[in-house]
Amino acid sequence: MSDKKKSPATKRDVIGGRARKSESAPSKTRTSSEVNAPIVVDTFSRIESRQKISNPDLLRKALLAILITSLVFAIGIQVGESRNSSSVDEAIRSVVESSAKEIDRDVLERAAIEGVLKASGDEWANYFPREALEIFEAQSSNSFTGIGIYLSKSRGGVIRISSIQEGSPAAKSDLAIGDELLEVNGTQVTGASLASTIALIRADIGDRVDLLVARAEKKILATIKAGKVQAKSVELTQVTSSVALLEIASFISGTAIEVSRVLKSANYASGVIIDLRNNSGGLLQEAVDVAELFIRNGIIVSYKVNESEKVFRATNSNPIKVPVVVIINRNTASSAEILAGAFQDRNRGVVIGERSYGKGSVQELISLDDGSKLELTVALFLTPSGRIIEEVGITPDLAVAAAEIGLKSLQVLGGLASFISKE
């Protein structure tokens, strides 16, 4: 690594412990020759002092020996450094030192890391610099500064707007869910990582953000002023006197608690419709907690990493027992697919709409020494029956066109209620 700056070394987050520092090296037992070495040196010193004037040749030889030893030692250090320095480090150092214009080494190192992730073939891998990580974590909380959009990246590398926060600055603009993001403040983001794009959009309250998007072969430039966004992931509507429509836009911190809260003030004796359309996912535990509100016990989702299985189970002695219909579409992904799959596999609800996106892989965050993080795919989620979601998605029990989804939801709930009453 360069003498100017070291690249961040990886440090894996481990629950319940951290890597130990290496123990101090044990003291080395000296051999008899090492024990006697000081005596030999001392004898030589006395001989040298007596011959200092009478034998100048011996003095020259001694000085020559010292010089040769110093040169060998210096060469050894250089060889050791060159062996420890990779060709990537050497290339970055050469570019920085030889360029006719000033180049930020951090930019080159970030490009190198993103290049490694792209070459790995992990389509969900991401690199989060410290500044991007702050935004990434903020958007999982209840409030953050920004324009109020959520992004997703397709397998082809296209970045799209997956959700727009209600009441946010973006909601008042010309942006729409599904728009392909082309530029942020004049910088092209086609092929860029999700983390880099998030960092570009970052803005303080009052700052202007220019987004160029593509929609149906038409380009639209939206200029938005950033503001304080109050994240609201849950919306409840009383569609009939006894049926509640529960729209979940994303799974952020507190989503399950909010679902429980709004249901307490609603009348849903005839059933609940859970709308997960355009929900790109979010926090896994929140999705599991929402499922547990309706499922008494059993597996919700599981995955295996290095032969170690992680299982998320429901344990609710008093779950909601009314009929449930879950609506999904092609933009339903990740944690939202896990929720739909749990309702389907545990025969707790009927899933309708269209086949979901198929993003069912587990990403692990690995910390780097400079505070940045890598997000790497380490496993695949499995539904309660053992189905893989990744690249497959959740196939609805009943395929329904978007124009008919409302009416069909009520019809299915009516059929479920009738079936339950007969039992």
Share of the chain above pLDDT 70, in %: 75
Does residue 139 or residue 315 have the better pLDDT? 315
Q: Are residues 204 and 184 in the same domain?
A: yes
Of 32-46, 62-76, 252-266, 405-419, the poorest mean pLDDT is in: 32-46
Whether 280 shows a pLDDT value over 90: the answer reads no
The span from the CA of 91 to the CA of 1, in Å, is: 10
**Summary mean pLDDT of the chain:** 80
What's the pLDDT at 203?
80
Q: Are residues 149 and 196 in the same domain?
A: yes
| Nearest Cα residue to 67 out of 59, 55, 78 | 59
* DSSP classification of residue 108: H
92: amino acid identity, one letter: I
Q: Are residues 224 and 255 in the same domain?
A: no
Residue 12 lies in a domain: no
Dihedrals φ, ψ of 239, to 5°?
A: -80, -30
Neighbours of 385 (CB within 10 A): 11
What's the pLDDT at 12?
40
Residue 42 lies in a domain: no
What's the pLDDT at 82?
47
What's the pLDDT at 386?
96
Residue 61 lies in a domain: no
User: Of the candidates 230, 245, 270, which is a domain's last residue?
Assistant: 230
Report the pLDDT averaged over residues 104-112.
83
Q: What pTM did the predictor assign?
A: 0.70
> What are the helix (H) ranges across 85-184?
87-98, 105-119, 130-138
> What are the helix (H) ranges across 140-296?
194-201, 255-264, 284-294
pLDDT band at 375 (very low <50, low <70, confident <90, very high): confident
Q: Are residues 273 and 351 in the same domain?
A: yes
Q: Are residues 408 and 330 in the same domain?
A: yes
Q: Are residues 224 and 308 in the same domain?
A: no
Does residue 344 or residue 164 have the better pLDDT? 344
Q: Are residues 242 and 133 in the same domain?
A: no
Of 84-88, 142-146, 160-164, the poorest mean pLDDT is in: 142-146
Q: What is the pLDDT of residues 212-249, one digit of tens each?
A: 999 988 999 999 999 887 778 899 999 999 999 999 99
Sequence length of the chain is 423
Range of the domain at 264: 234-422
Residue 296 lies in a domain: yes
Q: How far is CA 378 from CA 123, 304, 312, 371, 400, in A?
A: 12, 9, 17, 21, 34
Number of domains present in the structure of the chain = 2
Q: Are residues 351 and 303 in the same domain?
A: yes
Does residue 317 or residue 375 have the better pLDDT? 317
Whether 353 shows a pLDDT value over 90: the answer reads yes
Q: Are residues 197 and 284 in the same domain?
A: no
What's the pLDDT at 412?
94
The span from the CA of 254 to the CA of 248, in Å, is: 12
pLDDT band at 93 (very low <50, low <70, confident <90, very high): confident
Q: Are residues 255 and 380 in the same domain?
A: yes
Which residue has tokens 């509507």? 237
